[in-house]
Amino acid sequence: MPELEEIIDFINPDEKLLRKGRERQSAVWKGIEPDYLPLILQETEAPELNNFVHYTLKDQFFNKEKMILEQLKGLVGFAKAGGDAQFSIRANLGVGVVPSIFGLKPIFTQDDQMPWFVRMDPFGKGTLSKEEVQNLDIPGDIRNRGLIPTAIEYIEYFKSKIKNGVNIYCFDTQGPFDIAHLIRGPQIYTDLYDDPEFVHRLMDISTRVYIETTKIFKEAAGEPLCSGYHGSLCLYMDGGGVRLCDDSSTNLSPHLFREFSLPYIKRALSPFGGGWIHFCGNSNHLLDMYLEVEEIKGLNFGNPEKYDYESIMTKMISKGKFYLGVWPGKKGESLKEYFQRILAPLKGRKCGLILQFSREKNELPCSEIIDLWYSLQ
């Protein structure tokens, strides 16, 4: 595949930059002040990729050669920028890898969107019934169940093709309540009231398979339990080896969250020395509870515009946590003003933040953006 070699050459990792980026990110995880807070910078213009064929997400799902090309393309803009990004790719099989163990199958409603996962039921019922969930158990060795063999196959293939400086990160394992929601569907929200004991059983199963599938990934990739990489944010994780998605908990009241989700988050993160949490939507009503959990080291918001930056960062730093990801700018705000606003709640300390930022057309060159970021610290 000559195009594979070309794209790898475009990335061409600089080991010195990678090492410094790992050191900075590791320091934030450990609560140690680095020389500079890390900046995960992306160059959005990559004309060198224009001549390559684009493969849809459906194409990639069924073809590991096409998937590795698209995964590597996503790294080129970060490699060009020269910031603190750490490069990794994954077997991008969608949110249903873990539920597929219990028989859910992928369906593509559009070729270039990720699949949804349903039970292939002749009567059109897409999720598991309560009776089916009651009878669920984790089969002995899940390596041969659902999409796990495909994920392992893709990981092994990727390992054989990538070069030093590019790593493998975990296929999408979601999180305990998200897995339970995928298995049971929207009925889980009424189950919370109608049969709480049933929900606790499902949450126990979801947590166990989250842990086991993550361990299977780490074994296949050769990654330690308590550290690793995560590609969508170009992260290096140190002292907490996993990401956990908790989008579905956003719909819970604080009371329900504390009983049915939070204990299972803590349990799911524990074998990996902790980790970071991602969720979309508005979880302001749950934030204080997330920050109570020792195993939660950092948070990433899918909708940061729904949060007040200054108050959120003040809270997170007071609890020894960090924010990782993008944060929106304000209308009319210069780049310098944006960086100053982002740094202000830190009060001169280099802690609590791994910022991702994309250089847009007509902005300063990436090297000058990095210099500005460093100069303001």
HEC sequence for the chain = CHHHHHHHHHHCCCHHHHHHHHHHHHHHHHCCCCCCCCEEEEECCCHHHCCCCCCCHHHHHCCHHHHHHHHHHHHHHHHHHCCCCCEEECCCCCCCCCHHHHCCEEECCCCCCCCEEECCCCCCCCCCCHHHHHCCCCCCCHHHCCCHHHHHHHHHHHHHHCCCCEEECCCCCCCHHHHHHHHHHHHHHHHHHHCHHHHHHHHHHHHHHHHHHHHHHHHHHCCCCCEEEECCCCEEEECCCEEEECHHHHHCCHHHHHHHCHHHHHHHHHHHCCEEEEECCCCCCCHHHHHHCCCEEEEEECCHHHCCHHHHHHHHHHCCCEEEECCCCCCCCCHHHHHHHHHHHHCCCCCCEEEEEEECCCCCCHHHHHHHHHHCC
The pTM assigned to this predicted structure is: 0.95
Percent of the residues in the chain that have a pLDDT greater than 90, as a whole number: 91
Q: What is the pLDDT of residue 264?
A: 99
Q: What is the pLDDT of residues 104-122, one digit of tens each?
A: 999 999 999 999 998 766 4
Q: How confident is the model at residue 125 (pLDDT cuts 50, 70, 90)?
A: low
Whether 213 has a pLDDT exceeding 70, the answer reads: yes
Q: Is 150 exposed, middle or buried (0-12, 13-18, 19+ CB in 10 A)?
A: middle
Q: How confident is the model at residue 147 (pLDDT cuts 50, 70, 90)?
A: very high
Q: What is the pLDDT of residue 121?
A: 62
Which whole number is the average pLDDT over 74-87?
A: 97
Locate 104 and state its tokens. Answer: 């859910």
Which whole number is the average pLDDT over 290-300?
A: 99
Which whole number is the average pLDDT over 348-362?
A: 94
Q: How confident is the model at residue 361 (pLDDT cuts 50, 70, 90)?
A: confident
- Residue 188 CB partners (closer than 8 Å, separation 6+): 180, 181, 199, 202, 248
Which whole number is the average pLDDT over 190-205?
A: 97
Domain 2-375: which topology? TIM Barrel (3.20.20)
Other beta carbons less than 10 A from residue 135's beta carbon = 9
In this structure, which amino acid lies at residue 267?
R
**Among 290, 178, 277, CA closest to 237:** 277
Q: What is the pLDDT of residue 120?
A: 67
Rounded to the nearest integer, the mean pLDDT of the chain is 95
- Residue 24 CB partners (closer than 8 Å, separation 6+): 34, 35, 36, 37, 38, 84
Q: What is the pLDDT of residue 135?
A: 81
Q: What is the pLDDT of residue 298?
A: 99
Q: How confident is the model at residue 140 (pLDDT cuts 50, 70, 90)?
A: confident
Which whole number is the average pLDDT over 88-112?
A: 95
Q: What is the pLDDT of residue 163?
A: 87
